[in-house]
Structure 1
């Protein structure tokens, strides 16, 4: 009996216990992507290549490929932004790229937003989306197209709908990844 009483007394009463440490606020700054960000951007993207169907890429992108893409988008004046933590960690990125290569499509772009695993579910996706839309308007772009996997990307579809994108079509069984067929949902937003 004494041992049991002793065990109970070793636990402090609730009012004398220290509260658990507060979770640090999720802080970040949005800025233009820079060449030194590309290794981090590559790691974020390649996580999705290896682990999800939100991208139909099956092979990891190399740093050389990212450098080429960055140079191309910079030359065209396309928005390419990152969210950076106060410690300098890249938390996510967003960009637009030409929808098609033909000149007549020059005012129409396709968007991409990817978050690091630790940054999901904290409201960063919508912040990047709004900034991407604002910068796309400022760049004189007129239409944004989203090509979203029809399975496993429901949150992306909802976010695009919340920003005024409307579904303009679906393509079934156009991609094959992880031993299954996948389709896409096409969404569009006019920047007026």
Structure 2
């Protein structure tokens, strides 16, 4: 799993400290103008840096996509829920700059994120897609084998309206067809 071009011009690689300002700008735009995130106030650069560090310290992938050496998107995996029984279940997050939509950036990011997650012990990946009308994100996840699991209706309120969350899921590795290795079965803590 080396850093490699995913589509002509799109390269996906591990995040570096110098990428965080671009990541912050991409997320700031999504928070202020989109429904993919249910945050209403963009976090500071310091908070985004803290979140990135925590993800990486947990041993989870945090990736950026570049076009001509410019960061145009990012993706990471986080634990779906902090309770120990969820330790084999991840949630993905994929954000693409407004200017790079439709250029294969989301596909390149999600493809590499799934590859890296399947190199670990995890068995399920959840996508919580903000807004039932977010057809781009729903289609992206569907292309990579995610299936529709349900909709939590009107669970968010943003931009003066109620917003749904679409739940999608994809097995990683053997999914639920086998048990994790014996060493992974012990409850942490």
Q: Deviations over 1:14-38 (max 9, x none)?
A: xxxxxxxxxxx96132110112211
Partner of 1:138: 119
User: What residue number does 1:71 align with?
Assistant: 53
1:95 aligns with 2:76: yes
Q: Is contact 2:60–2:78 with CA below 8 Å preserved after alignment?
A: yes
Using the alignment, how far apart are the partners of 1:33 and 1:77 within structure 2? 13
Distance 1:186 1:118 in 2: 27
Deviation at 1:118, TM superposition (A): 1.6
2:28 corresponds to which of 41, 46, 51: 46
Q: What secondary structure, in the 3-state scheme, does the structure 1 residue paired with 2:142 have?
A: helix
Shift in CA distance, 26/91, structure 1 to aligned 2, threshold 3 Å: farther
Structure 2: how far apart are the matches of 1:73 and 1:52? 23
Alignment gaps of 5+ in structure 2 = 1-6, 174-189
Q: CA RMSD in A?
A: 1.4
- 2:86 maps to 1:105: yes
Structure with greater strand percent: 2
Tell me the residue number matched to 2:136.
Answer: 155
- C-alpha contact (below 8 Å) 1:174/1:182 kept by paired residues: yes
Greater helix proportion: 1
Structure-1-length-normalised TM-score: 0.83
Structure 1 runs (4+) greater than 4 angstroms displaced:
none
Separation in 1, partners of 2:113, 2:10: 16
Which residue in the other structure is 1:82 paired with? 64
Distance 2:22 2:33 in 1: 17
- Structure 1 residue 151: Cα displacement: 3.4
Return the alpha-carbon distance in structure 1 between the equivalents of residues 161 and 8 of structure 2: 36
Aligned length: 167
Q: Which has the larger radius of gyration?
A: 1
Residue 36 of structure 1 pairs with residue 18 of structure 2: yes
Gapped runs of 5+ residues in structure 1? Answer: 1-24
